[in-house]
Amino acid sequence: MLNSYNLIGKRALVTGAASGIGLATVERLARSGAAVAINDLPSNEKLETQVHRLRDEELTVIAAPGDIGSAASAQLVVARATEELGGLDYLFNNAGTPATRKPIPPSDLEALTDEFWHRILSVNLMSAFWVTKAAVAALQSSKGSVVNTVSVSAFSGGASSTAYATAKAGLAGLTRELARGLAPDVRVNGIGPGYVNSSWECSFGDLEADARVHVPLQRVGQPEDYAEVGVFLAVSALYVTGQVWIVDGGLRL
Protein backbone atom coordinates (compact mmCIF):
# COMPACT_ATOMS: atom_id res chain seq x y z
CA MET A 1 0.00 0.00 0.00
CA LEU A 2 1.37 3.42 -0.96
CA ASN A 3 1.99 6.11 1.60
CA SER A 4 -0.66 8.84 1.65
CA TYR A 5 0.42 12.48 1.54
CA ASN A 6 -1.43 15.77 1.63
CA LEU A 7 0.82 18.07 -0.42
CA ILE A 8 -1.70 20.81 -1.19
CA GLY A 9 0.22 24.08 -1.29
CA LYS A 10 3.58 22.37 -1.85
CA ARG A 11 5.71 23.03 -4.93
CA ALA A 12 8.18 20.72 -6.66
CA LEU A 13 10.57 20.66 -9.59
CA VAL A 14 11.47 17.30 -11.15
CA THR A 15 14.21 17.18 -13.80
CA GLY A 16 14.31 14.63 -16.58
CA ALA A 17 10.64 13.99 -15.95
CA ALA A 18 8.89 13.32 -19.25
CA SER A 19 9.21 9.56 -18.73
CA GLY A 20 10.43 6.85 -16.37
CA ILE A 21 11.24 7.54 -12.72
CA GLY A 22 10.87 11.28 -13.21
CA LEU A 23 7.36 11.06 -14.61
CA ALA A 24 6.29 8.58 -11.92
CA THR A 25 7.60 11.05 -9.33
CA VAL A 26 5.65 13.90 -10.92
CA GLU A 27 2.46 11.84 -10.85
CA ARG A 28 3.01 10.79 -7.23
CA LEU A 29 3.49 14.41 -6.16
CA ALA A 30 0.70 15.90 -8.28
CA ARG A 31 -1.87 13.29 -7.24
CA SER A 32 -1.03 14.19 -3.63
CA GLY A 33 -1.92 17.82 -4.31
CA ALA A 34 1.45 19.41 -5.10
CA ALA A 35 2.06 21.84 -7.96
CA VAL A 36 4.86 20.35 -10.06
CA ALA A 37 7.23 21.78 -12.67
CA ILE A 38 8.22 19.12 -15.18
CA ASN A 39 11.63 19.54 -16.77
CA ASP A 40 12.96 17.76 -19.83
CA LEU A 41 14.77 18.61 -23.05
CA PRO A 42 13.01 21.26 -25.18
CA SER A 43 13.16 18.87 -28.13
CA ASN A 44 11.37 16.08 -26.26
CA GLU A 45 7.80 15.92 -27.55
CA LYS A 46 6.86 13.76 -24.57
CA LEU A 47 7.17 16.78 -22.27
CA GLU A 48 4.20 18.72 -23.67
CA THR A 49 2.26 15.49 -24.16
CA GLN A 50 2.60 14.57 -20.49
CA VAL A 51 1.85 18.09 -19.29
CA HIS A 52 -1.40 18.14 -21.31
CA ARG A 53 -2.35 14.64 -20.14
CA LEU A 54 -1.88 15.50 -16.48
CA ARG A 55 -3.70 18.81 -16.82
CA ASP A 56 -6.61 16.94 -18.40
CA GLU A 57 -6.72 14.99 -15.14
CA GLU A 58 -7.00 18.35 -13.34
CA LEU A 59 -3.53 18.04 -11.81
CA THR A 60 -1.41 21.17 -11.32
CA VAL A 61 1.66 20.85 -13.52
CA ILE A 62 3.73 23.19 -15.68
CA ALA A 63 6.41 22.60 -18.30
CA ALA A 64 9.93 23.77 -17.50
CA PRO A 65 11.90 22.79 -20.62
CA GLY A 66 15.66 23.14 -20.79
CA ASP A 67 18.90 21.19 -21.17
CA ILE A 68 20.23 21.27 -17.61
CA GLY A 69 23.50 19.80 -18.84
CA SER A 70 24.38 23.48 -19.20
CA ALA A 71 24.85 25.73 -16.14
CA ALA A 72 23.14 28.70 -17.78
CA SER A 73 20.16 26.63 -18.91
CA ALA A 74 19.86 25.01 -15.48
CA GLN A 75 19.59 28.47 -13.90
CA LEU A 76 16.86 29.47 -16.36
CA VAL A 77 14.89 26.29 -15.68
CA VAL A 78 14.95 26.90 -11.93
CA ALA A 79 14.11 30.58 -12.33
CA ARG A 80 11.09 29.76 -14.50
CA ALA A 81 9.86 27.01 -12.19
CA THR A 82 10.18 28.99 -8.98
CA GLU A 83 8.57 32.07 -10.51
CA GLU A 84 5.56 30.18 -11.88
CA LEU A 85 5.14 28.02 -8.79
CA GLY A 86 5.74 30.88 -6.35
CA GLY A 87 8.61 29.11 -4.60
CA LEU A 88 9.94 25.59 -4.15
CA ASP A 89 9.58 22.93 -1.47
CA TYR A 90 10.99 19.83 -3.18
CA LEU A 91 13.67 19.37 -5.81
CA PHE A 92 14.21 16.05 -7.56
CA ASN A 93 17.47 15.93 -9.53
CA ASN A 94 16.48 13.02 -11.73
CA ALA A 95 17.86 13.93 -15.17
CA GLY A 96 20.38 11.50 -16.60
CA THR A 97 21.72 10.02 -19.81
CA PRO A 98 23.85 7.03 -20.77
CA ALA A 99 24.88 8.86 -23.99
CA THR A 100 25.16 5.46 -25.69
CA ARG A 101 22.66 2.96 -27.10
CA LYS A 102 24.76 -0.07 -26.13
CA PRO A 103 26.77 -0.65 -22.93
CA ILE A 104 30.45 0.17 -23.30
CA PRO A 105 32.70 -2.50 -21.74
CA PRO A 106 35.05 -1.21 -19.01
CA SER A 107 37.98 -2.37 -21.15
CA ASP A 108 37.01 -0.13 -24.11
CA LEU A 109 38.79 3.05 -23.11
CA GLU A 110 38.90 4.32 -26.69
CA ALA A 111 35.11 4.75 -26.66
CA LEU A 112 35.35 7.11 -23.68
CA THR A 113 36.23 10.24 -25.61
CA ASP A 114 36.53 13.66 -24.02
CA GLU A 115 33.23 14.63 -25.60
CA PHE A 116 31.53 11.54 -24.14
CA TRP A 117 32.92 12.23 -20.67
CA HIS A 118 31.81 15.86 -20.87
CA ARG A 119 28.21 14.97 -21.71
CA ILE A 120 28.02 12.20 -19.11
CA LEU A 121 29.42 14.36 -16.32
CA SER A 122 27.41 17.45 -17.29
CA VAL A 123 24.04 15.70 -17.28
CA ASN A 124 24.50 13.01 -14.62
CA LEU A 125 26.57 14.94 -12.07
CA MET A 126 27.05 18.64 -12.69
CA SER A 127 23.37 19.28 -13.49
CA ALA A 128 22.42 18.26 -9.95
CA PHE A 129 24.88 20.80 -8.58
CA TRP A 130 23.82 23.58 -10.96
CA VAL A 131 20.10 23.07 -10.35
CA THR A 132 20.49 22.78 -6.57
CA LYS A 133 22.69 25.87 -6.44
CA ALA A 134 20.10 27.86 -8.40
CA ALA A 135 17.27 26.57 -6.18
CA VAL A 136 18.96 26.83 -2.80
CA ALA A 137 17.48 30.19 -1.75
CA ALA A 138 13.94 29.00 -2.48
CA LEU A 139 14.55 25.69 -0.70
CA GLN A 140 16.04 27.40 2.35
CA SER A 141 13.05 29.71 2.52
CA SER A 142 10.63 26.76 2.58
CA LYS A 143 12.83 24.44 4.70
CA GLY A 144 12.62 22.10 1.73
CA SER A 145 14.43 18.99 0.55
CA VAL A 146 16.38 17.56 -2.36
CA VAL A 147 16.38 14.01 -3.74
CA ASN A 148 19.00 12.93 -6.27
CA THR A 149 18.58 9.91 -8.54
CA VAL A 150 21.89 8.10 -8.15
CA SER A 151 22.31 4.44 -9.22
CA VAL A 152 23.48 1.13 -7.80
CA SER A 153 26.32 1.46 -10.33
CA ALA A 154 27.75 4.17 -8.06
CA PHE A 155 28.64 1.42 -5.60
CA SER A 156 29.23 -1.67 -7.74
CA GLY A 157 29.84 -0.57 -11.32
CA GLY A 158 28.33 -2.56 -14.15
CA ALA A 159 26.61 0.42 -15.74
CA SER A 160 26.26 1.53 -19.35
CA SER A 161 29.85 2.79 -19.18
CA THR A 162 32.73 3.52 -16.85
CA ALA A 163 31.96 7.21 -17.27
CA TYR A 164 28.34 6.75 -16.18
CA ALA A 165 29.27 4.71 -13.09
CA THR A 166 31.89 7.32 -12.19
CA ALA A 167 29.42 10.19 -12.58
CA LYS A 168 26.90 8.42 -10.35
CA ALA A 169 29.57 7.75 -7.75
CA GLY A 170 30.25 11.48 -7.83
CA LEU A 171 26.55 12.17 -7.40
CA ALA A 172 26.50 9.99 -4.30
CA GLY A 173 29.35 12.08 -2.93
CA LEU A 174 27.65 15.32 -3.92
CA THR A 175 24.52 14.18 -2.08
CA ARG A 176 26.53 13.77 1.11
CA GLU A 177 28.37 17.09 0.78
CA LEU A 178 25.25 19.10 -0.09
CA ALA A 179 23.55 17.57 2.95
CA ARG A 180 26.38 18.92 5.09
CA GLY A 181 26.43 22.30 3.40
CA LEU A 182 22.69 22.97 3.38
CA ALA A 183 21.84 21.65 6.86
CA PRO A 184 19.87 22.34 8.96
CA ASP A 185 17.47 24.14 6.61
CA VAL A 186 17.48 21.73 3.66
CA ARG A 187 17.73 17.94 3.68
CA VAL A 188 19.51 16.22 0.77
CA ASN A 189 19.18 12.51 0.03
CA GLY A 190 19.28 10.15 -2.92
CA ILE A 191 17.88 6.91 -4.25
CA GLY A 192 20.00 4.19 -5.88
CA PRO A 193 17.87 2.42 -8.50
CA GLY A 194 18.71 -1.02 -9.84
CA TYR A 195 16.95 -2.42 -12.91
CA VAL A 196 14.30 -0.02 -14.21
CA ASN A 197 11.45 -0.70 -16.63
CA SER A 198 11.61 2.51 -18.64
CA SER A 199 12.42 3.87 -22.09
CA TRP A 200 16.12 4.23 -21.27
CA GLU A 201 18.30 5.10 -24.26
CA CYS A 202 20.74 2.25 -23.58
CA SER A 203 19.53 -1.33 -24.11
CA PHE A 204 20.68 -4.05 -21.70
CA GLY A 205 18.81 -6.93 -23.34
CA ASP A 206 16.11 -8.97 -21.58
CA LEU A 207 16.02 -7.37 -18.14
CA GLU A 208 13.04 -9.42 -17.00
CA ALA A 209 14.85 -12.70 -17.64
CA ASP A 210 17.99 -11.35 -15.98
CA ALA A 211 16.00 -10.15 -12.96
CA ARG A 212 14.45 -13.57 -12.44
CA VAL A 213 17.97 -14.95 -12.04
CA HIS A 214 19.85 -12.17 -10.24
CA VAL A 215 17.24 -10.16 -8.29
CA PRO A 216 15.88 -11.80 -5.10
CA LEU A 217 12.44 -10.20 -5.67
CA GLN A 218 12.58 -11.66 -9.21
CA ARG A 219 11.32 -8.67 -11.15
CA VAL A 220 12.48 -5.45 -12.72
CA GLY A 221 11.72 -2.31 -10.72
CA GLN A 222 8.89 -0.14 -12.01
CA PRO A 223 9.24 3.66 -12.08
CA GLU A 224 6.56 3.82 -9.37
CA ASP A 225 8.74 1.69 -7.05
CA TYR A 226 11.46 4.31 -7.16
CA ALA A 227 9.12 7.31 -7.07
CA GLU A 228 7.55 6.00 -3.86
CA VAL A 229 10.91 5.94 -2.07
CA GLY A 230 12.02 9.26 -3.51
CA VAL A 231 8.85 11.06 -2.42
CA PHE A 232 9.10 9.47 1.03
CA LEU A 233 12.63 10.83 1.43
CA ALA A 234 11.52 14.27 0.27
CA VAL A 235 8.35 14.53 2.33
CA SER A 236 8.45 12.24 5.35
CA ALA A 237 12.00 11.25 6.31
CA LEU A 238 12.53 14.34 8.42
CA TYR A 239 15.54 12.99 10.35
CA VAL A 240 17.32 11.54 7.32
CA THR A 241 19.90 13.49 5.31
CA GLY A 242 23.03 12.70 3.33
CA GLN A 243 21.88 9.17 2.56
CA VAL A 244 21.48 7.24 -0.70
CA TRP A 245 18.82 4.56 -0.25
CA ILE A 246 19.39 1.53 -2.44
CA VAL A 247 16.20 0.44 -4.22
CA ASP A 248 17.09 -2.65 -6.24
CA GLY A 249 14.91 -5.59 -5.21
CA GLY A 250 17.90 -7.08 -3.41
CA LEU A 251 20.21 -7.09 -6.45
CA ARG A 252 23.28 -6.17 -4.38
CA LEU A 253 22.68 -8.66 -1.56
Per-residue pLDDT band at 206 (split at 50, 70, 90):
confident
CATH of residue 141: 3.40.50.720
210: containing domain: 11-247
Least confident of 42-46, 101-105, 201-205: 201-205
Q: pTM value? A: 0.96
Other CB atoms within 10 Å distance of the CB of residue 108:
11
- Residue 211 belongs to some domain of the structure: yes
Q: Which pLDDT does position 1 carry in this prediction?
A: 59
Give the residue ranges of DSSP H helices in the chain: 20-30, 45-56, 71-85, 114-121, 127-142, 153-156, 162-182, 207-214, 223-235
Give the pLDDT confidence score for residue 201 in this predicted structure: 81
Task: Note whether residue 252 is domain-resident.
Answer: no
- For the chain, what is the domain count? 1
Q: Is residue 187 pLDDT above 90, yes or no? A: yes
Higher pLDDT, 200 or 159: 159
- The reply to whether 105 falls in a domain is yes
Residue 1 placed within a domain: no
What pLDDT does 3 receive? 80
Handedness of CA 48, 51, 55, 61 (dihedral sign): negative
Considering the domain boundaries, does residue 3 fall inside one?
Answer: no
Flag whether pLDDT at 200 surpasses 80. no
Q: How far is CA 112 from CA 54, 87, 98, 172, 218, in A?
A: 39, 40, 12, 22, 33
By percentage, how much of the chain surpasses pLDDT 90?
90
Residue 5, in any domain of the structure: no
4 versus 88: which is more confidently predicted? 88
Enter the DSSP assignment of 153.
H
Is residue 215 scored above 70 in pLDDT?
Answer: yes
Residue 164 appears among annotated catalytic residues? yes
Task: Catalytic residue, from 90, 164, 195, 226: name it.
Answer: 164
Q: Give me the numbers of helices (H) and strands (E) for the chain, helices first please.
A: 9, 7
Q: Is the pLDDT of residue 216 over 70?
A: yes
- In this prediction, residue 11 carries a pLDDT of 98
Say what the alpha-carbon torsion angle 195, 231, 164, 181 is, to the nearest 10 degrees: -150
What does the pLDDT read at residue 2?
73
Confidence (pLDDT) at 16: 97
User: What type of residue sits at position 97?
Assistant: T
* Neighbouring-strand partners of residue 175: none
Q: What is the mean pLDDT of the chain?
A: 96
Mean pLDDT calculated for residue range 110-130: 98
* pLDDT number for residue 203: 79
Average pLDDT over residues 193-215: 88
Question: pLDDT value at position 37?
Answer: 98
